[in-house]
């Protein structure tokens, strides 16, 4: 079942303690799409500038991702992010952000987009996310990401969004900030009370927690010795999760849990190299093999 | 099968952001024994001073713990620790440490102690731990804890200990320090190469990792909304783990994994109140109920 994602398309500069890459392919919509495409057809909406290398679009199209919603803004420049990871490879500092074309971008859905039953709203202003939600008439499962910036400066608008979506995906520090509670279990439960039917709290190298009215659980990250670049781990987690749900065409508790596990496994590959380099080197069978190992790991 | 533990017996002062307790029952041998006793008979070796309240010993004896190895040092004062937890309740700072009777304590095993087939060496100088190990002639499974202090000042002696024990239990930050590697997977594997047959890395609110020659896995912590005092979580984790192994009388991979899960669940109760307050309020059925929930939580 086709899946629609609206999010950022970026050129990232990533610094780690041992390595550095400039102007590499990134952005929430990119990581999400590429991860989700292992499971289900994906349609992507985003904006880039005239500096955008065409081969990046081709990489996505070669994977069968529908990029007809990827708009090139005349005279514009692509969104850029520069970050540096601390030696623990879990925490990072943002060194530069240039919104560029994202500053003015208001996503427009065409008929094919509006038909999609599964929708993921990548991190953006809740005003923009609400606008997309209003256009996505066919969506039966809507999941959004957010970030500390919007919690701090557009809390009311975020509150409105939370009343309208089915699921929210956010980081542990963001959940604590939004709920004003340092205990992650209570924080997740508090965010759930703000409206969504379920909340997924991403804990980076420590996995993810799930909250719904009747369920609460935590799944660890798949342990990998090879953490090269964690950028995009959260978005490919969401991509694996939503991709699996769209493939199943349902989102009951059992489907959601398995989807979270696929998200964990997909993200575990993403971090093993820069940009999409690791994800382009694997296929669906690799994901299924690692999922089986992961399932076994949690059985006692 | 009886289990022997050698470790600290303490009077703790614990400060959290909302509460404080002075001179409460604590220490690695105490938390370990009380937790292990849900599963198996326990014999405890430790030292206290003349200030030691007799009712603490009675609490342990009421649970059937053999405290004949608990020595009162004439004129001595009991080991004291004062710590303050940060708002996240996972990190803490040590405000005061008074070794007191522990400064000179050299544990002496009697015949009953020497017969024990399962031995846990609570955190102490590796010199003391090696001395106990030399006396424990009947031990078939020996597991030790350690801490950053010994890694920093007695690394050679710790290295000798690691060649002699079956299992090492330590914190994530200690594993990284010992292996000089910020990646926890690589750090655990490096510590394993130093000698022990298995290594358990405790990650606090994020669970625990297991490393052996043929296996590597991570189990999350059991999520609890009620974190009152994390003191003793690591020692009661070890107590639940070793207690279950001693009860089974074996330590094959399957037994070890189930033991880790029991450790996680036991520790999840410990943190729900100060000192042993929560553990004294539950019984084995509570542990088994939570273990079943935990098992279910990790199944997808």
Number of structural domains, chain A?
1
pLDDT value, residue B77:
98
- A87, A186, A258 member nearest B225 (Cβ): A186
Nearest CA in chain A to B217: A297
- B218: nearest CB among A216, A223, A300: A223
Q: Which positions in chain A touch B182 (Cβ < 8 Å)?
A: 87-89
d(CA A206, CA A268): 11
Q: Tokens standing for A204?
A: 């980076």
As a whole-number percent, the residues of chain B with pLDDT over 70 amount to: 100
Structure-token pair, residue B100: 């007191």
Query: What ipTM goes with this model?
Result: 0.93
DSSP letters spanning B176-196: HHHHT-S-HHHHHHHHHHTS-
Backbone φ/ψ region at A232: left (φ over 0), alpha (ψ -120 to 50), beta: left
Q: Which residue has the tokens 């709203």?
A: A121
The per-residue pLDDT for range B229-274, each reduced to its tens digit, is 999 999 999 999 999 999 999 999 999 999 999 999 999 999 999 9
Q: Which residue in chain B is spatially nearest to A255 when comparing CA positions? A: B300
- In angstroms, rounded to a whole number, what is the distance separating the alpha carbons of residues A84 and A81? 10
Predicted local confidence at residue A236, as pLDDT: 98
CA neighbor of B132 nearest in space, from B145, B119, B147, B117: B119
Chain B residues with CB-CB distance to A257 below 8 A:
300
Is B203 in contact with A206 (Cβ distance < 8 A)? yes
Model confidence band, residue B144 (pLDDT cutoffs 50, 70, 90)? very high
The chain-wide mean pLDDT, for chain A, equals 97
Length of chain B equals 300
Distance in angstroms (rounded) separating the CA atoms of residues B157 and A31 = 48
Q: Which of B212, B221, B294, B297 is nearest to B256 (CA)?
A: B212
Cβ distance B300 to A295 less than 8 Å, yes or no, reads yes
* Average pLDDT over every residue of B208-222: 97
Confidence check: pLDDT of A1 > 90: no
Cβ distance B83 to B12 under 8 Å?
yes
Q: What is the CATH number of the domain that holds B137?
A: 3.40.1190.20
Residues 6+ apart with CB under 8 A from A56: A25, A30
Q: Which residue has the tokens 């102690």?
A: B113
Q: Which residues contact A155 (CB under 8 A, 6 or more apart)?
A: none
- Half-sphere exposure (CA, 13 Å, Cβ side) for A106? 6
| Cα separations in angstroms, A178 against A158, A162, A181 | 10, 12, 8
In this structure, are residues B146 and B174 in contact, taking their beta carbons and an 8 Å threshold? yes
Mean of all residue pLDDT scores within chain B: 97
Global confidence as pTM: 0.95
Q: Are B68 and B112 in contact (CB under 8 A)?
A: yes
Q: How far apart are CA B179 and CA A210, in angstroms?
A: 33
Contact A184 B203 (CB under 8 A): no
Q: How far is CA B38 from CA A277, A280, B32, B63, in A?
A: 50, 50, 11, 9
Closest partner residue to A217 among B185, B216, B297, by Cβ? B297
CA dihedral of A167, A173, A179, A183, whole degrees rounded to 10: 110
Q: Report the C-alpha gap between B10 and B30 in whole angstroms.
A: 8
Q: Residue A270 belongs to what domain range?
A: 3-297
pLDDT for position A225: 93
**Helix axes of A284-297 and A253-270: crossing angle, nearest 10 degrees:** 110
Q: What is the pLDDT of residues A203-220, one digit of tens each?
A: 999 999 999 999 999 999
**Residue B95: pLDDT over 90:** yes
Give pLDDT, residue B106: 96
Residues of A in contact with B180 (CB under 8 A): none
Instruction: Please give, rounded to a whole number of angstroms, the shortest distance from the CA of A135 to a CA of chain B.
Output: 34
Summarised one tens digit per residue, pLDDT across range A242-298 is 999 999 999 999 999 999 999 999 999 999 999 999 999 999 999 999 999 999 999
Across the interface, whether the CB atoms of A184 and B223 are under 8 A apart is answered yes
Q: Distance from B156 to chain A by nearest Cα, in Å?
A: 26
Residue A90 has pLDDT above 90, yes or no: no
**A224 and B87: CB-CB below 8 Å?**
no
| pLDDT for res B147 | 96
C-alpha separations of B54 from A202, A226, B57, B175 in Å: 47, 52, 5, 37
Binding-site residues on chain B for chain A (CB distance < 8 A): 87-89, 182-186, 189, 203, 205-207, 209, 216-221, 223-225, 227, 254, 257-258, 260-261, 295, 297-300
- What string of H, E and C letters represents the secondary structure of B198-210? EEEEECHHHCEEE
**Read out DSSP for B11-79?**
EEEEE-SS-EEEEEEE-HHHHHHHHHTTTS-EEEEEEE-TT--HHHHHHHHHTT-EEEEEEEPTT---E
pLDDT over 90 percentage in chain A: 99
Residue showing tokens 């919690």: A151
Question: Is the pLDDT confidence value at B90 over 90?
Answer: no
Chain position carrying tokens 């969004």: A161
Searching chain A, which residue's CA lies closest to the CA of residue B292?
A300
Q: What is the pLDDT of residues B112-124, one digit of tens each?
A: 999 999 999 999 9
pLDDT at residue number A39:
98
Closest CA to B144 of B80, B244, B158, B214: B158
Of A185, A223, A300, the CB nearest to B185: A223
**pLDDT tens, residue by residue, B20-36:** 999 999 999 999 999 99
Q: Give the model's pLDDT for residue B1.
A: 87
Q: What is the pLDDT of residues B168-196, one digit of tens each?
A: 999 999 999 999 999 999 999 999 999 99
pLDDT of B54 strictly over 90: yes
The rounded Cα A150 to chain-centroid distance in angstroms is: 16
């Amino acid at each position: 079942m086709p899946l629609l994602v609206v999010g950022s398309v970026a050129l990232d500069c990533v610094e780690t303690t041992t390595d550095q890459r400039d102007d590499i392919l990134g952005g929430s919509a990119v990581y999400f799409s590429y991860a989700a495409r292992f499971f289900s057809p994906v349609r992507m909406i985003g904006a880039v500038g005239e500096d955008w290398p065409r081969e990046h679009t081709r990489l996505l199209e070669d994977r069968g991702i529908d990029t007809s919603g990827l708009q090139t803004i005349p005279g514009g420049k692509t969104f850029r992010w520069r970050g540096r990871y601390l030696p623990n490879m879990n925490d990072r500092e943002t060194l530069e952000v240039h919104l560029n074309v994202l500053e003015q971008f208001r996503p427009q859905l065409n008929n094919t987009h509006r038909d999609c039953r599964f929708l993921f709203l990548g991190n953006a202003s809740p005003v923009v996310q609400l606008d997309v939600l209003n256009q996505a008439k066919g969506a039966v499962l809507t999941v959004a990401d957010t970030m500390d910036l919007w919690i701090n400066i557009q809390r009311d608008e975020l509150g409105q969004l939370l009343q309208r979506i089915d699921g929210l995906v956010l980081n542990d520090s963001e959940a604590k900030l939004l709920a004003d509670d340092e205990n992650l279990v209570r924080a997740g439960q508090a965010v759930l009370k703000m409206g969504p039917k379920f909340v997924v709290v991403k804990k980076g190298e420590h996995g993810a927690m799930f909250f719904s009215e009747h369920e609460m659980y935590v799944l660890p990250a798949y342990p990998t010795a090879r953490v090269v670049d964690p950028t995009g781990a959260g978005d490919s987690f969401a991509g694996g999760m939503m991709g699996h749900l769209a493939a199943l065409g349902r989102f009951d508790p059992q489907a959601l849990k398995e989807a979270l596990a696929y998200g964990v496994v997909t993200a575990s590959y993403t971090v093993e190299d820069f940009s999409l380099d690791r994800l382009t080197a694997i296929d669906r069978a690799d994901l299924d093999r690692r999922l089986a190992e992961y399932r076994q790991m949690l059985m006692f």
